[in-house]
C-alpha cells in the first residue's frame, strides 16, 4: 500500500509523463528533427543535431551506438518534419489516429563556394516522406480514380496526390477492390498468412516494436528482410514482423516484362529501369550478367545489382548536364550554331541528337569550368545518392585543362562514373520540369489490417529552371526521330510512330572495370499516355552486341502494345507469318 505522502508524487510523475509524450508526438508542437548524414565507409550514417531553422520546439534523436569514423566536415542534412494540419477536420482526424503523422521531408539544394578549388556542393538531402492512413482524405472528399486491377497501363502509378485521393485502391486486395470502389471508403486489408520459413527472417533484427517503429526503420528493413510476391495483393512485399509488411512500388507485370526483355538479348551486363518522374517511385528495375537475370526475390538483387553500382562511364549522358548548364545560364539556345567540322555549323539541338562531341566541347569552353562544375554538383555528382537501397556515389572531377575539360563535357572522360539509378534521376529531373524527386521503393506499410504509413513523394532539388528542362526535353525527341537512337525505336510495323512518342539521350564509351563497351539510353516514352522514364545499359566486349537504345525501344513498344490491349509476342508471330 502506497503511503499518502507518495501519492501526489506519483500523480505528478504520471502528469509529466503524459505531457512529455504529448509534446513528443503532437504534430502541432514538434516542428522538426534534424539528422546529419555523414558518408562513412560509403554508407550513410545518421547523427542527431538540432534544427537551426525550426521555429517551434525541437527534439533530438539518439545517435547509433556503433563505433564509427569521425564525421566529415561537410555533410548533407536530413530533416524529418512532422506535418501540421491546417483545418479543424484534419485536426480531429489526427487526434483520433493511433500514431503521429511522420513526414520525412527532404530538400536538396546544391551550393558552391566562392573558392572554386574548394567547391563541393552541400545539399539539404532528403530521406523519405511517409504518412499514416488516418491523415489521408476521407472517402466523402476523395476524388475517385477509375482503374482495373488487372490493367498493365500506368494509371496504377499516378502521382501521389492522385493516389491519396483514393485511399483504398493501393491497399485493397483484388477480392475487395470492387466493393471498395463501390463504397468509396478505405478498404480493410486482410492480413497475409505468414510463412513459417520466412517468419524467423522477418523478425530477425527488428529490435523495435512495429507499432512504434519509424519510417527509417521500415526503409532499412527492405535491405535486411526477404522480398516476396503477394498473389492477392499483386505486389512485392517485405515482411517486417508477423503483423506488419511493407509494400514496394515495383509493379510485378512491369518487372516481369523487363526481365523477359533482358533475357532475350545476350548482354554481358544489362540494366533496365522504369521510373515515374513525377513521384520518384521505381516501377521496375532489373539487371543481368552474362544473360542471366537476377531475380527480384533473391538476396543478390539487393546486394549485387548493376542498377545500383556507380562503376559505368557516364559517356554522352553527360551532355544533358553540359547542355542544361549552358541553356540555364543563357549562354546558348537550342538554335545556337557551333562549328562541327570544316566550315560547317550545326544547331545545338542537332548536335544533341547526333551526340556531336566537338560541339559540346565548344559549349563547355563558352560557359567555363566553374559554371559546369556547379551544375555537375547540382545534378548529384560527387555527393551521396540517397535511395531505399544502398547506391554508391557518382564521380565527376572536372579537369582544369581546357582540352580535357571539353572532352569531359562531351562525355569522353572514362573516370566520370555513374550508376544507372543516378542516370534515371537525371533524366527524371528533365521530365519533371527541372525538379529532382527522391527515388524510392517503399510505397506503404500495413499493420494489423491497416495502412499505418504511406510514402509521400517530395522534391530533393531543382538544379535547372522549368524552361531549361523543357528545351532539353524537346531536344530528346530528336535523338529517337533523327539521331543516334533512331534505329533502336524504328522497325515496329505495329507502331510505326514509336520514335515520335519517345525521346532521350544515348551514350557509348568503353569502361575500365568492367572493361566492356557500354552503351546507354536515358530517356522517356509516352506509350502509356504520359511520360515514363526509361534507362537501359548494355555492356558488350565489342560493337557487335545489342545496343541499349534497342532494349529501350523494345520496352517502349511492349508498353504501347499492352496499353492497346494487344500481346506483343502474338503480334510479332503474326507479323513473321505474313512476311513469309
Q: Tell me the pLDDT tens digit for each residue of 438-467.
A: 999 999 999 998 999 999 998 999 999 999
Name the more confident of 21 and 249.
249
The predicted pLDDT at position 566 comes to 80
Confidence of residue 33 (pLDDT cuts 50, 70, 90): very low
501 has a pLDDT exceeding 90: yes
DSSP 280: -
Is the CA virtual torsion 27, 30, 32, 38 positive or negative?
A: negative
Taking Cα atoms as reference points, which of 190, 209, 135, 193 lies closest to residue 455? 135
**Is 432 a residue whose pLDDT tops 80?**
yes
Q: Which of 7-11, 22-26, 174-178, 217-221 has the lowest mean pLDDT?
A: 174-178
Per-residue three-class SS string for 206-255? CCCCHHHCCHHHHHHHHHHCCEEEECCCCEEEEEEECCEEEEECCCHHHH
Residue 385, pLDDT score:
96
The pLDDT of residue 570: 62
- What pLDDT, on the 0 to 100 scale, is given for residue 212? 60
Between CA 356 and CA 573 the distance in angstroms is: 38
Specify the pTM. Answer: 0.68
Between 81-95, 204-218, 263-277, 508-522, the lowest mean confidence (pLDDT) is in 81-95
Tens of pLDDT, residues 334-392: 999 999 999 999 999 999 999 999 999 999 999 999 999 999 999 999 999 999 999 99
Q: For residue 553, how many C-alpha atoms fall within 13 Å in the half-sphere facing its CB?
A: 26
Mean pLDDT is highest, among 34-48, 192-206, 213-227, for 213-227
In angstroms, how far apart are the furthest CA atoms of the chain? Answer: 101
Cα–Cα distance for residue pair 427/504, rounded to 1 Å: 8
Q: Name the pLDDT band for 327 (thresholds 50, 70, 90).
A: very high
Average pLDDT over the chain, rounded to an integer = 74
End-to-end alpha carbon distance in the chain = 97
Residue 25 grid coordinates: 508526438
Nearest alpha-carbon partner for 230 in 297, 163, 138, 322: 297
Predicted confidence (pLDDT) per residue in 476-499, tens digit:
999 999 999 999 999 898 899 999
* pLDDT at position 99: 35
Q: What percent of the chain has pLDDT over 70?
A: 63
Report CA torsion sign: 355, 358, 361, 365.
negative
Q: Tell whether the model's pLDDT for residue 206 goes beyond 80.
A: no
Q: What per-residue confidence (pLDDT) applies to 213? A: 77
pLDDT value at 580 more than 70: no
Question: What is residue 441's predicted lDDT score, i.e. its pLDDT?
Answer: 97
- Confidence band (pLDDT; 50, 70, 90) for 57? very low
- Give the separation between CA 88 and CA 93, rounded to whole angstroms: 9
Length of the chain: 580
Partnered with residue 317 across adjacent β-strands are: none
Q: What is the structure's pLDDT at 524?
A: 98
- All cell numbers assigned to 36: 546529419
Amino acid at each position: 500500500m502506497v503511503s499518502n505522502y507518495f501519492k501526489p508524487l506519483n500523480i505528478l510523475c504520471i502528469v509529466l509523463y503524459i505531457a512529455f509524450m504529448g509534446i513528443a508526438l503532437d504534430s502541432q508542437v514538434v516542428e522538426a528533427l534534424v539528422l546529419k548524414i555523414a558518408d562513412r565507409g560509403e554508407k550513410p550514417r545518421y547523427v542527431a543535431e538540432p534544427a537551426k531553422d525550426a521555429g517551434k520546439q525541437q527534439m533530438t534523436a539518439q545517435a547509433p551506438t556503433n563505433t564509427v569514423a569521425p564525421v566529415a566536415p561537410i555533410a548533407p542534412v536530413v530533416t524529418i518534419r512532422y506535418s501540421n494540419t491546417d483545418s479543424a477536420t484534419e485536426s480531429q482526424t489526427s487526434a483520433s489516429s493511433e500514431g503521429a503523422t511522420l513526414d520525412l521531408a527532404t530538400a536538396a539544394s546544391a551550393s558552391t563556394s566562392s573558392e572554386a578549388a574548394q567547391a563541393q556542393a552541400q545539399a539539404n538531402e532528403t530521406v523519405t516522406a511517409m504518412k499514416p492512413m488516418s491523415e489521408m482524405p476521407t472517402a466523402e472528399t476523395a476524388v475517385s480514380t477509375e482503374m482495373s486491377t488487372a490493367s498493365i497501363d500506368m494509371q496504377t502509378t499516378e502521382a501521389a496526390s492522385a493516389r491519396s485521393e483514393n485511399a483504398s485502391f493501393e491497399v485493397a486486395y483484388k477480392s475487395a477492390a470492387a466493393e471498395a470502389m463501390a463504397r468509396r471508403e478505405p478498404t480493410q486489408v486482410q492480413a497475409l498468412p505468414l510463412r513459417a520459413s520466412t517468419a524467423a527472417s522477418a523478425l530477425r533484427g527488428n529490435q523495435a516494436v512495429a507499432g512504434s517503429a519509424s519510417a527509417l526503420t521500415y526503409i532499412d528493413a527492405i535491405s535486411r528482410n526477404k522480398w516476396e510476391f503477394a498473389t492477392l495483393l499483386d505486389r512485392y512485399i517485405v515482411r517486417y514482423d508477423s503483423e506488419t509488411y511493407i509494400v514496394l512500388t515495383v509493379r510485378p507485370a512491369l518487372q516481369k516484362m523487363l526481365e523477359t526483355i533482358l533475357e532475350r538479348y545476350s548482354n554481358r551486363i544489362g540494366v533496365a529501369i522504369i521510373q515515374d518522374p513525377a513521384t520518384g517511385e521505381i516501377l521496375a528495375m532489373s539487371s543481368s550478367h552474362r544473360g542471366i537475370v537476377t531475380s527480384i526475390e533473391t538476396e543478390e538483387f539487393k546486394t549485387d545489382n548493376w542498377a545500383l553500382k556507380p562503376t559505368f562511364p557516364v559517356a554522352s549522358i553527360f551532355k544533358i548536364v553540359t547542355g542544361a548548364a549552358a541553356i540555364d545560364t543563357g549562354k546558348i539556345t537550342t538554335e545556337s550554331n557551333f562549328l562541327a567540322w570544316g566550315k560547317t555549323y550545326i544547331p545545338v539541338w542537332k548536335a544533341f541528337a547526333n551526340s556531336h562531341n566537338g560541339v559540346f566541347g565548344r559549349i563547355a569552353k563558352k560557359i567555363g569550368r566553374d559554371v559546369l562544375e556547379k551544375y555537375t554538383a547540382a545534378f548529384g555528382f560527387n555527393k551521396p545518392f540517397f535511395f531505399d537501397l544502398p547506391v554508391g556515389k557518382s564521380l565527376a572531377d572536372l579537369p582544369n585543362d581546357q582540352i580535357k575539360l571539353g572532352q569531359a563535357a562531351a562525355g569522353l572522360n572514362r573516370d566520370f562514373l555513374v550508376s544507372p539509378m543516378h542516370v534515371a534521376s537525371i533524366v527524371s529531373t528533365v521530365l519533371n520540369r527541372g525538379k529532382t524527386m527522391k527515388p524510392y521503393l517503399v510505397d506503404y506499410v500495413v499493420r494489423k489490417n491497416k495502412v499505418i504509413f504511406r510514402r509521400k513523394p517530395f522534391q530533393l532539388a531543382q538544379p535547372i529552371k522549368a524552361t531549361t528542362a523543357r528545351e532539353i526535353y524537346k531536344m530528346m525527341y530528336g535523338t529517337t526521330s533523327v539521331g543516334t537512337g533512331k534505329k533502336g525505336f524504328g522497325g515496329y510495323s505495329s507502331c510505326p510512330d514509336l520514335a515520335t512518342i519517345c525521346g532521350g539521350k544515348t551514350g557509348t564509351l568503353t569502361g575500365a572495370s568492367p572493361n566492356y563497351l557500354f552503351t546507354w539510353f536515358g530517356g522517356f516514352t509516352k506509350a502509356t499516355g504520359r511520360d515514363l522514364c526509361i534507362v537501359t545499359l548494355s555492356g558488350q566486349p565489342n560493337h557487335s552486341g545489342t545496343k541499349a537504345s534497342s532494349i529501350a525501344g523494345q520496352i517502349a513498344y511492349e508498353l504501347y502494345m499492352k496499353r492497346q490491349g494487344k500481346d506483343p509476342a502474338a503480334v510479332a508471330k503474326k507479323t513473321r507469318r505474313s512476311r513469309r
